[in-house]
Structure 1
């Protein structure tokens, strides 16, 4: 069996296509992008989905809803990390997963590569009409990308609430419940991974460029030192990291689904085959280079990196996993900004703020003011998810209403959802704010099955009701 294409070679091929002069560039270029939070699931899912769709000539019907359109792959798909390049430094867990796949941060694509920047000249600019976009880990394009390329979306693979933006008859439309979106990606292309990728894509990198394009764009080829099983193992680690993180090592019964269990089984089978071939021993951290894989140690290694925010400023903590939405109102749009944090308020106040709650509050206030650049960020929200000292998974929620409309929406949210979410005042209300100075509540959240996937739509619905005159 000839060696398949490594992730590194795939990214090199994609860069050659993206950076070609516009006169020689393939048109349209096809992109895959995760959501604005740019968490591990979004980043890794974009990479693997783009890889699978590039090298799989199989066609397969969509797996959810009544959509029976044929899913056409075997076109070069370019994965985009939905963040600025400088923000890669905030995600050491992603850097570790890339290293396991023999990829560096400089190999991946970020927003600057498609939106331009100070180092991009006009000859490399990309017109929206020359692009097609596939969404993964979200189903409505937001942010700067949405403003420019929102009309060019042709499909999605997602596990969030359906926002009814991607048409029902889209080329690919998969929206199903799973702990990790990566699980849907792995399941959908399991046949490709098992059958086609193992035998047919050794020289596909150059043929993809020739087939799509206009001129010699200088590709690289897979090195013979990389066996098919070794590349399988690299892809498997890329898949396993977000699934295990998002399902707490398959231990979170509220998030883990059959999709996640099947995807982990498939990926771990690839690792087992590689280790059988190599007959290597290791420490069980499951990194690259043929180390012995142990699921618990692999999970702990990635989770420790994700949770380590000790050296980050509060600004970096708030923006590392950040998503925002804007609700159209009669007079003005209403803003919702949400930050997911992998440590609890005990840590944020007692350790990171040296026990002074005002330090944390001031930092969050500064963050809200920074996010006011488009318009008033009416609700600034912090959601924590972490394991306590006894290994029990916990969630907490802070909602800060920063406008009259925001206060009305926040009170509506509390009235409607406090019982369902099991909200209990955190530490006697030390972070709460009442009266003329505004409205802020911090709660312990007993119903830990509800993450941002569920809470953000609740808050958005409250804002919509207020925006509509409710």
Structure 2
């Protein structure tokens, strides 16, 4: 059975009255990037094929269905395998599954703590049991009894998913030869997350990549991988960066996560690949202000952190910006930049500072507060920024 056939059969099985309960679901993190989506889909398929034969796991994408169109790189990758949106499951499906199943056995990939209002609500109500974790983020210390519970750093989480099932099915090399679609799908996030095997590459990534090349050396499903790895990466990277036609709110939603911290601080984190000066020149001040406010309300958060990363076109310098927005009066948020100043090596030496000043002057008033800084510690991605912000807010 191909991976696509699995998804087709899963949809048919769910429509029948004989689907086994409790439902088993696997979900990636709330940013729903390529790594999370592919990790969830391959985990579901490989569990069915190699671990618990004929027992379906539902891969859930932890965003609203309408947001999936913003993930143009993922849609491009899935299109190579004729996997369409109607074969996938999203946040709004979770409550429906819970209603039908009354309880859910949940596996987490590409994160190790629950994310999303719906899933957390189900867990708080005693209806969700976390049964497995495969993740490459920092260990949050939850769900110690999960099995497997694999948490270690790695360039791509899809690599850890592959190695788990490859080890589980040791000696069954013919399985991978007959399931090249799984390998090709896993190759996408590996290349994207490691910038074509040039950054954040660890030993599991290297071993997975060598295995992928061996399997794909002949008779590949959709492309001649041996000669087209670079083109494949460039195609997916171009699709990922394509934000033509997006509103500012769309850009904020494209790569978004949110967390609830110790003192009930509900914080959203948006990663964007454009400088804030570009945002200031692309959209009107009023549109930016309205979209920032809508983002707070739509996600029921008090604080929005925006992490921007880009290469300056005129100098070629790789740059990061740390930005945040909140409304009303909150002394802790007002001082947040001071609390993270040293750890993130913040400065006011901003790229195209005139545009930034116009933006903040236009947005800021007694009820709206937008702060933007240059982040000199360019190695600190959102993975590092989230725990830093968490630590200072929880003191």
Q: Please indicate the TM-score interval, normalised by the length of the shorter structure.
A: 0.7 to 0.9
Contact 2:347 2:374 in 1 (8 A): yes
SS of 2:132 mapped into structure 1: strand
Change in 2 beyond 3 A, CA 1:410/1:16: farther
Deviation, 1:231, is 3.5
Contact 2:133 2:148 in 1 (8 A): yes
Aligned to 2:198: 251
1:80-229 matches, cutoff 5 A = 80-116=60-96, 125-129=99-103, 131-143=104-116, 144-149=118-123, 151-166=128-143, 168-191=144-167, 195-196=171-172, 198-199=174-175, 229=177
Q: How far apart are residue 128 of structure 1 and its match?
A: 3.8
SS of 1:160 mapped into structure 2: coil
Q: How far off is 1:43 after superposition?
A: 0.7
Q: Which has the higher contact order (CA 8 A, sep 6+)?
A: 1
**What's the TM-score once normalised by structure 1's chain length?**
0.74
1:208 corresponds to which residue? Answer: none
Matched residue, 2:293: 365
Counterpart of 1:382 in structure 2 is 306
Q: Render the CA deviation track for 1:142-179: whole Å, top value 9, x for unaligned.
A: 2212211463111211112222221x232211111112
The match for 1:327 is 261
Q: What does residue 27 of structure 2 align with?
A: 33
Are positions 1:420 and 2:343 aligned together? yes
Per the alignment, residue 456 of structure 1 pairs with: 386
SS in 2 for 1:447: coil
Query: For 2:206, which of 255, 258, 261 is the aligned residue?
Result: 261
Q: Quick one: which of 335, 344, 362 aligns to 2:275?
A: 344
Q: CA RMSD in A?
A: 2.8
Structure 1 residue 109 displacement after superposition: 2.0
SS of the equivalent of 1:272 reads coil
What is the CA-CA distance between 1:410 and the residue it aligns to? 5.4
Q: Secondary structure at the match of 2:14?
A: helix
1:202 paired residue number: none
Q: Which residue of 2 aligns with 1:397?
A: 322
Task: Verify the 8 A CA contact 2:67 2:253 in the aligned structure 1.
Answer: no
1:12 maps onto 2:8 in alignment = yes
Per-residue CA shift, 1:117-138, capped at 9, x if unaligned? xxx9xxx932342x21100011
Q: Is the 8 A contact 1:40 1:242 kept in 2?
A: yes
Determine if the alignment matches structure 1 residue 235 to structure 2 residue 182. yes
Asked if the contact 2:327–2:367 (Cα under 8 Å) also holds between the matched residues in 1, the reply is no
What number of residue pairs does the alignment pair up?
383
Cα separation, 2, equivalents of 1:53 and 1:388: 44
Residues 86 and 438 from structure 1, CA distance in 2 versus in 1: closer, same or farther, beyond 3 angstroms? closer
Q: 1:388 to 1:365 in 2, by over 3 A?
A: same
Task: Give TM-score scaled by structure 2 length.
Answer: 0.87
Task: Compare CA radii of gyration and give the structure with the larger one.
Answer: 1
Distance (whole Å) between structure 1 residues aligned to residue 251 and residue 22 of structure 2? 37
Q: Is the 8 A contact 1:381 1:398 kept in 2?
A: yes
Tell whether the 8 Å contact from 1:179 to 1:243 is kept in structure 2 after alignment: yes
**Partners of 1:311 and 1:98 in 2: CA distance:** 22
Q: Deviations over 1:356-411 (max 9, x none)?
A: 5564344323322433xx4xx33211112334436654322212243444x41452
Q: Point out where structure 2 has 5 or more consecutive residues left out of the alignment.
A: none
| Distance of aligned partners of 1:74 and 1:392 in 2 relative to their CA distance in 1, 3 Å threshold | farther
Contact 1:336–1:460 (CA under 8 A) maintained in structure 2: no
Give the SS at the match of 2:89.
coil
Structure 1 portions without partners, runs of 5+:
58-71, 200-227, 276-286, 466-470
How far did 1:26 drift? 0.8
Q: Is the alpha carbon distance of 1:401 and 1:76 closer, same or farther for their aligned partners in structure 2, counting shifts above 3 Å?
A: same
Is contact 2:217–2:225 with CA below 8 Å preserved after alignment?
Answer: no
Q: Which residue of 2 aligns with 1:52?
A: 46
Helix, strand or coil at the partner of 2:212: helix
